[in-house]
């Protein structure tokens, strides 16, 4: 596997590890320490409690302690999104119990993010549902995203809107950069806060066949977070054919200086062995 040239990542480029896809061979509370042992100082998470949007306070406290003890900063957190990984792709646009769960989660997630200094909350839109008018789902989604944006603003955070990819998430409606940006614009127009941002995931966008350089040029200034994995395979950089070093360089030149989340599958090896592509000096926040 080729090694990334740390001199080309830019002085402000910062990498974090998604602990919901990497280090999953370990219990949740052991993952922050494992990431720290691999040299990382920042992590992100999907909502860890897939069965409930409102876990006991003791479980929230235990996760905060694990992050603090490891010296890792949580830089991104998903709102409740149902069974993830699994069949669900979010809850906020799904009428009935799932939307209710999302709403119950909003302040819980925001308060936890505030307790650990996390400044980015990601809201997965949710799949289309049989028998429900897409316009009804979109109206519900906007209502819930407005609530989420206001909660994020309360703690000084941004609300991230993520696009997925059609081959793997055929019922998810946001499967292009323009579709994600359209929702970002609607939320900002509805709240007047301006804190809704685009989550630019190079893997998902590549799976949709988009011109990644064009997306970066068009939307880097409206991007609040970046995630990477190689394609095909969603593995570590160097396992596929995406020119990730070039794309990261383009992001830096376009003015993006936020976090780059490692959201790839480690393959058959332990997660700690999947970082050979990234020099040790590039792993800690600079």
Which one of the listed residues 44, 98, 162, 210 is annotated catalytic?
Answer: 162
Is residue 36 pLDDT above 70, yes or no? yes
Does position 46 have pLDDT exceeding 90, yes or no? Answer: yes
Q: What local confidence, expressed as pLDDT, does residue 20 receive?
A: 98
For the entire predicted model, the pTM comes to 0.95
Does 10 score more than 70 pLDDT? no
Are the C-beta atoms of residues 185 and 223 closer than 8 Å to each other?
no
Give the pLDDT confidence score for residue 9 in this predicted structure. 46
Choosing from 44, 98, 210, 263, which is the catalytic residue?
A: 263
Q: Which has the closest alpha carbon to 30: 72, 90, 80? A: 72
Give the Cα separation of 153 and 53 in Å (integer).
20
For the chain, domains (ranges, CATH) are 11-198+212-223 (3.20.20.150)
Would you call 263 a catalytic residue per the annotation?
yes
- The whole-number pLDDT of residue 190 equals 98
Q: What is the mean pLDDT of residues 163-188?
A: 98
What angle in degrees, to the nearest 10, is found between the helix axes of 97-115 and 134-154? 20
**Both tokens of residue 171?**
């019922």
Cα-Cα-Cα-Cα torsion 236, 240, 246, 252, nearest 10 degrees, comes to -30
- Count of other CB atoms within 10 angstroms of residue 275: 24
Q: What is the pLDDT of residue 12?
A: 56
* Percent helix, strand and coil across the chain, each to the nearest 5: 40, 15, 45
Integer angstrom CA distances of residue 2 from 16, 76, 238, 244: 19, 27, 6, 11
Query: Please, which pLDDT band fits residue 187 given cuts at 50, 70 and 90?
Result: very high
Sequential DSSP letters for 46-57: S-S-TT-SS--H
For residue 32, how many C-alpha atoms fall within 13 Å in the half-sphere facing its CB? 22
The pLDDT score that the predictor gives to residue 5 is 53
Pairing mode, strands 259-262 and 158-162: unpaired
Question: Which among 257, 223, 238 has a CA at the least distance from the CA of 10?
Answer: 257
Mean pLDDT, all residues of the chain: 95
Q: What is the pLDDT of residues 105-146, one digit of tens each?
A: 999 999 999 999 999 999 999 999 999 999 999 999 999 999
For 215-242, write each residue's pLDDT tens digit: 999 999 999 999 999 999 999 999 999 9
Q: Residue 15 in contact with residue 40, Cβ under 8 Å?
A: yes
**Active site annotation includes 245:** no
**Mean pLDDT of the region 148-159:** 98
pLDDT in tens, 193-215: 999 999 999 999 999 999 999 99
**Which pLDDT score is estimated for 281?**
87
What pLDDT sits at residue 8? 45
Q: How, if at all, do strands 120-123 and 73-78 pair? A: parallel
Give pLDDT, residue 13. 77
Distance between CA atoms of residues 239 and 30, nearest Å? 27
Query: Burial of 180 by CB count in 10 Å (0-12 exposed, 13-18 middle, 19+ buried)?
Result: buried
């Amino acid at each position: 596997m080729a090694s990334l040239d740390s001199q080309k990542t830019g002085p402000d480029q910062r990498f974090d590890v998604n602990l919901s896809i990497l280090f999953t061979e370990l219990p949740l509370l052991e993952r922050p320490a494992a990431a720290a042992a691999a040299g990382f100082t920042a992590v992100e998470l999907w909502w860890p409690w897939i069965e409930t949007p409102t876990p006991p306070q003791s479980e929230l406290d235990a996760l905060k302690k694990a992050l603090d003890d490891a010296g890792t900063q949580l830089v991104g957190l998903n709102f409740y999104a149902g069974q993830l990984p699994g069949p669900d792709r979010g809850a906020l646009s799904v009428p009935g119990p799932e939307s209710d769960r999302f709403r119950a989660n909003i302040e819980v997630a925001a308060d936890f993010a505030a307790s650990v200094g996390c400044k980015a909350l990601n809201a997965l839109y949710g799949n289309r549902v049989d028998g429900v008018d897409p316009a009804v789902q979109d109206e519900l989604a906007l209502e819930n995203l407005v609530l989420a944006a206001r909660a994020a603003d309360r703690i000084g955070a941004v609300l991230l809107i993520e696009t997925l990819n059609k081959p793997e998430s055929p019922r998810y409606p946001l499967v292009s950069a323009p579709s994600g940006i359209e929702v970002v614009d609607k939320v900002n127009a509805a709240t007047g806060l301006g804190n809704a941002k685009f989550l630019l995931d190079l893997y998902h966008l590549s799976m949709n066949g988009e011109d990644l350089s064009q997306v970066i040029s068009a939307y880097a200034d409206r991007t609040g977070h970046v995630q990477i994995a190689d394609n095909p395979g969603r593995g570590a950089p160097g396992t596929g054919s995406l020119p990730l070093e070039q794309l990261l360089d383009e992001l830096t030149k376009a003015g993006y200086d936020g976090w780059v989340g490692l959201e790839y599958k480690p393959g058959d090896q332990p997660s700690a062995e999947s970082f050979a592509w990234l020099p040790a000096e590039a792993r800690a926040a600079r």
